[in-house]
């Protein structure tokens, strides 16, 4: 595999990387502590919206004019990060389910501005009036409180994949990615994409995403696992998966990563690659039949917000995978995207990347 820097400018065909997941409109605003108290929120928390939070989004839009919109949700974050690092609009495609409301339009605008090809399924059940998924990101000083309402994101159906336009997007794509959260929404859609990737010798990637996914939706993950070429996760997710799905009696990340890499795999033309991040601790790489390796992580002087670091890492990795780079360079690219993300508020990035694998080292 070539590692010359000229390859960084390699033009990818449109829609090379395909993401499917739960789209959320992130509404980011700096608020006083009294605002949190009014909605019974803690300063550093991540919760699903309840009746206590009715009117919260409208209040943000009305009373905090400096709010910003970001196209969020784990998979959409990763797809944005990949597009940003590549600096190639339309190199990535994204789909998920949205409502028929103003939040859909705001989300569409934010994602289009980030350079994504979009194919949202619009949930139109007029009786329910299901709104587009949102996540309020409430910043107080160095803390941030997340209030998510999955809304229409929960309503994706496999019929969306039957649309001729979407069939074409799937045919054109070379790398597929979904975060673990989508296993709670539409496992049949994931399995169809898995089978397509397997039949056409394409790459399927997924993410453990959260300990509760590993514990309560692990059977869905395990069903997809024979098709998984690249698996991402962090240390707490890997330990949960090791305990609940592999029945391992160990907390050792290298052992768990190796065990996942050695699980049965349908496409034997390529080994399974498992990448487990551990915050500021070394990232673990395990490849079928090989001893795991560790890669130290470069830390910025100032960390503003670690939310979205894992999603950003995956985006950088996928971008370099699409460019035909080595696993080592792809890990560096992922680490760079996470490095930039945690110096911003929310899962956002500077205007332009300045990544050089030869100098971005610990």
Say whether 109 is catalytic. Answer: no
Q: Decide: helix, strand or coil at residue 282.
A: strand
Q: How far is 53 from 73, CA to CA, in rounded Å?
A: 19
Closest CA to 21 of 135, 121, 136: 121
Is 17:88 a contact under the CB 8 Å cutoff? no
Closest CA to 282 of 270, 297, 267, 272: 297
Q: Decide: helix, strand or coil at residue 69.
A: strand
- The number of residues in the chain equals 362
Which among 7, 311, 351, 356 is annotated as catalytic? 311
Alpha helices in 25-159 (DSSP H): 33-38, 56-63, 74-86, 102-113
Question: Hey, what are 330's tokens?
Answer: 């792809």
Question: What is the chain's alpha carbon radius of gyration, rounded to the nearest angstrom?
Answer: 19
**Residues belonging to the active site:** 311
């Amino acid at each position: 595999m070539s590692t010359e820097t000229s390859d960084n400018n390699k033009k990818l065909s449109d829609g090379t990387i395909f993401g499917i997941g739960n789209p959320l409109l992130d509404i980011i605003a700096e608020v006083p502590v009294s605002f949190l108290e009014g909605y019974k929120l803690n300063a550093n928390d991540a919760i699903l919206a309840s009746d206590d939070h009715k009117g919260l989004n409208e209040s943000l839009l009305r009373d905090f004019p400096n709010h910003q919109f970001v196209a969020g949700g784990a998979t959409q974050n990763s797809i944005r990060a990949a597009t940003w690092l590549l600096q190639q609009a339309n190199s990535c495609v994204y789909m998920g389910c949205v409502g028929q409301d103003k939040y859909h339009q705001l989300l569409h605008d934010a994602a289009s501005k980030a350079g994504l090809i979009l194919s949202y399924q619009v949930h139109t059940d007029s009786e329910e009036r299901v709104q587009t998924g949102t996540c309020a990101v409430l910043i107080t000083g160095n803390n941030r409180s997340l209030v998510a309402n999955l809304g229409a994101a929960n309503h994706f159906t496999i019929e969306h994949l039957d649309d001729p336009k979407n069939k074409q997007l799937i045919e054109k794509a070379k790398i597929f990615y979904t975060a673990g959260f989508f296993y709670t929404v539409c496992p049949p859609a994931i399995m169809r994409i898995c089978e397509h990737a397997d039949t056409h010798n394409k790459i399927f990637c997924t993410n453990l995403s959260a300990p509760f996914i590993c514990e309560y939706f692990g059977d869905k993950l395990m069903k997809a696992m024979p098709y998984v070429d690249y698996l991402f996760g962090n240390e707490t997710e890997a330990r949960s998966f090791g305990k609940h799905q592999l029945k391992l009696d160990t907390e050792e990340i290298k052992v768990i990563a190796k065990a996942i890499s050695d699980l049965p795999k349908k496409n034997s033309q390529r080994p399974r690659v498992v990448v487990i991040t551990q915050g500021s601790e070394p990232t673990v790489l395990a490849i079928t039949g090989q001893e795991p390796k560790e890669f130290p992580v470069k830390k910025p002087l100032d960390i503003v917000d670690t939310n979205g670091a894992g999603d950003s890492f995956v985006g950088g990795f996928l971008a370099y995978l699409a460019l035909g780079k080595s696993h080592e360079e792809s890990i560096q690219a992922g680490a760079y995207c996470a490095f930039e993300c945690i110096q911003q508020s929310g899962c956002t990035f500077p205007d332009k990347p300045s990544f050089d694998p030869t100098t971005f080292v610990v």
